[in-house]
Amino acid sequence: MGLEANHRPRAWILSMPAPPGAGSQPRVWGLSAAERLRRLLCADVSHIDRLSPGEAVPSCRERCVVLRDDLFYDERILSSLMASEDVVLCHEIEAGSASPVAAACASERLADVVALFRGERDDLPQGTRRLGILDLARAYDSRLLKVAPPFVCSARGKAAQKEIENLFFAASYKGITDLVTKWVFPRPARAVVRLLARRGVRPNTVTSVSYLLAIAVTWLFAEGWFAIGLALGWLMTFLDTVDGKLARCTLTTTRFGGAFDHGLDLVHPPLWWAAWAMALPGGIAAHELAFWVVLGGYLMGRALEGAFLLAFGISFFVWRPFDAYFRQIIARRNPNLILLTASVVVGQPLWGFWALAVWTALCVLIAAARNVQAQWEARRGVEIRSWLEDMTDPEEAGGLVSSATA
């Protein structure tokens, strides 16, 4: 969220009395609802206070956000709340009428807002307005490139711990990505993330193992041990999915961890392809054209994606549905590994490398053409924006959202 210090509100977490017969609150990815709130809020509020049932509301001079300790909140709701003023978010948690679940208000309205949450008054405090979830936060998540309505769910009641964990896991998963990450990895990754979270394994530990595997794969490819290298390569790609999801689900994301992970993602693929070429008959010199197409195409493809982002402020892959489908098969690591794996299965690693070169060249041409088309549209006065921005229902995206459903 990253608010400047002088604009940070003060957070008030209300302890809500448990209804009769309610069981204990589940710990979701190792955290209670209140603990999750504290981790999400700590960097973006000036102070976090907790109010027990019936406790008098002290005076304060800061803008306030009010939240309940018996609810789990989608992170986008909190981000949007921080930027709002004098709003009360209402949502139907249990069957029946909607109830207040979050609020942002001026300091002089804090006592009235708390009274509303406690059921001591029925009307909205003067000067506040009522919002629903989609009035406060958009369904389109530009960070994870998907359409998924933000959510608030109860930390008590019928929802089981695993169901809520599945919901948060789905919320952590990218919507537009390669076909392996999108369709093959979600279920096994969720199981492994759950196991690692319960054992207290840190995301950076998983990333460190990925680094070791990436180095091992490079050596194995260079030595011509293609089958073993591919097996470890697929394991590395799987862990590359796991570490990010583990960080987001357990709220242990750090700047260092992000740089640590993304640095590996950028560096190792061209090293793998170069090592593969070294082990082919005649080495790199015998296949120099294919070698430079693969490596140069990788760099050019990344540059074209960066140019699109710089020019239009959106990811290359969210402009039109075609681009989202293209992302599933573009010449990146996982689709490339499919080509190389198929070539080893038929006993022709050389074919795989040349297929990789042809596919890389074709993908670069497509990416370049899409950049030219976008520039042409922009010069004609057409706004270059994501086709997903105005959607509220994932079904509208035609399957181009994460398959990691709850």
pLDDT digits (tens, 9 = 90+) for 211-221: 999 999 999 99
Position 248 in a domain: yes
**Residue 197 within any structural domain of the chain:** yes
CA dist list (Å): 235 to 146, 178, 185, 221, 354: 26, 16, 11, 15, 24
Share above pLDDT 90 across residues of the chain, in percent, rounded to a whole number: 81
In a domain, 154, yes or no: no
pTM of the model: 0.92
Residue 263 falls inside a structural domain? yes
Residues 205 and 286 in one domain: yes
- Count of helix runs (H) and strand runs (E) in the chain: 15, 10
Q: What mean pLDDT is predicted for residues 56-77?
A: 94
Task: Report the CATH number at residue 177.
Answer: 1.20.120.1760
pLDDT of 134 higher than 50: yes
What is the model's pLDDT at position 405? 52
332: pLDDT strictly greater than 60: yes
Segment 252-273 shows an average pLDDT of 89
Asked if 229 contacts 217 with a C-beta cutoff of 8 angstroms, the reply is yes
Residue-range definition of the domain harbouring residue 257: 172-397
Statement to judge: residues 308 and 383 lie in one domain: yes
pLDDT, position 255: 85
Asked if 185 and 94 sit in the same domain, the reply is: no
Instruction: Fill in the amino acid letter for 149.
Output: P
Q: Reply yes or no on whether the pLDDT at 356 is more than 90.
A: yes
Instruction: Band the pLDDT of 97: cuts 50, 70, 90.
Output: confident
Instruction: Please answer whether residues 72 and 33 qualify as being in contact, where contact means their C-beta atoms are separated by less than 8 angstroms.
Output: yes
Q: Are 119 and 256 within one domain?
A: no
Read off the pLDDT band of 161 (50, 70, 90).
confident
Give the pLDDT score at 406: 47
Residue 157 has pLDDT above 90, yes or no: no
Domain check: are 267 and 222 in the same one? Answer: yes
Choose the final residue of a domain: 99, 125, 141: 141
Averaged over 125-138, what is the pLDDT? Answer: 95
52 located within any domain: yes
Q: Name the strand (E) or helix (H) holding 181.
A: helix 179-183
Type and span of the H or E element at 71: strand 71-73
- Cα 140 to Cα 63, 145, 149, 174, 186: the distances in Å are 27, 7, 7, 12, 20
Mean pLDDT score of the chain, rounded to an integer? Answer: 92
Quick one: 279 and 362 in the same domain? Answer: yes
Q: How confident is the model at residue 104 (pLDDT cuts 50, 70, 90)?
A: very high
Classify residue 245: in a domain, yes or no: yes
Confidence of residue 18 (pLDDT cuts 50, 70, 90): confident
Q: How many domains does the chain have?
A: 2
* Residue that is last in its domain, among 126, 141, 156: 141
Task: Identify the DSSP state of 59.
Answer: P
Q: Is residue 344 scored above 60 in pLDDT?
A: yes
Same domain, 268 and 393: yes
Beta strand 99-105 pairing with 146-147? unpaired
Cite the beta strand spans of 253-395 per DSSP E.
Answer: none
Shared domain for 97 and 217, answered yes or no, is no
Predicted pLDDT at 401: 60
Looking at the domain assignment, is residue 112 inside a domain?
Answer: yes
Render pLDDT for 357-404 as a digit per residue (tens, 0 to 9): 999 999 999 999 999 999 999 999 999 999 999 888 887 776 666 555
